[in-house]
Copies of this chain bind each other. A is one copy, B any other.
Amino acid sequence: MEEFERAVEAAIFASSEPLSPEEIAAFAGEGEVAAALAALSQIYTGHGIELVERGGRWHFQTAPDLAHILRRTREESRRLSRAATETLAIVAYHEPVSRAEIEAIRGVQISKGTLDVLMEAGWVRTAGRREGPGRPLLYATTVDFLTHFGLGSRRDLPGIDDLKAAGLLDPLDEAALQLQLESDEEEA
């Protein structure tokens, strides 16, 4: 394969958008872009991916006949909210724990959806009720939780000293704290 063709191939591959021949030339330097594109199209014929032109711009895509294999329903992964992450951490470190205890430790109320999200994700489960006034429902983590976070057991959670050493126990400055409390409220 020619050097120029390699450069064109790499540029189109790495680009986050289809590229026009001018844009390709800007990356690949001196050479016959049109000829290189023709050669590459030829090379990729019969592959599982192909080089295609759409409205004067070029990009690679998977071969249409393989669409069914790839089940291309792009699942949007969502980042766990700060409130949910903190709640999960508290459950892990303090289980079994009631909702009131979680709120006491967080210093902020948790909205109803927070624990639901964690249970739906399969990381938190209910763990009976505590005998005592109000018989509060208790929460604990699941085996899936350990698996997901690569923990052999709950004893593998970093201790307070470890957190401190890793710089994770630094008090937030007031402004950041305030901001955070506000966004928590909005979330709820």
Contact = CB atoms under 8 A, between A and B. Distances in A.
A112 B152 contact: no
B156 A128 contact: yes
Q: How often does this chain occur in the complex, in copies?
A: 2
A76 to B, nearest CB: 11
A165 B115 contact: yes
Contact of A48 (B9, B99, B125, B150): B9
Contacts of A113: 167
A88 to B, nearest CB: 14
A28 interface: yes
Given A14-B70, A62-B14, A126-B156, A47 B9 contact: yes
A152 B137 CA distance: 12
A63 B5 CA distance: 12
A151 B138 CA distance: 12
A8 B28 CA distance: 28
Interface residues of A, number: 54
Given A110-B165, A112-B167, A167-B116, A158 B70 contact: no
26 contacts: A1-B46, A1-B47, A5-B48, A6-B63, A7-B48, A9-B47, A10-B48, A10-B62, A10-B69, A10-B70, A13-B49, A13-B62, A14-B62, A14-B70, A27-B69, A28-B69, A110-B165, A114-B167, A115-B165, A115-B166, A126-B150, A126-B156, A127-B150, A128-B152, A129-B156, A137-B158
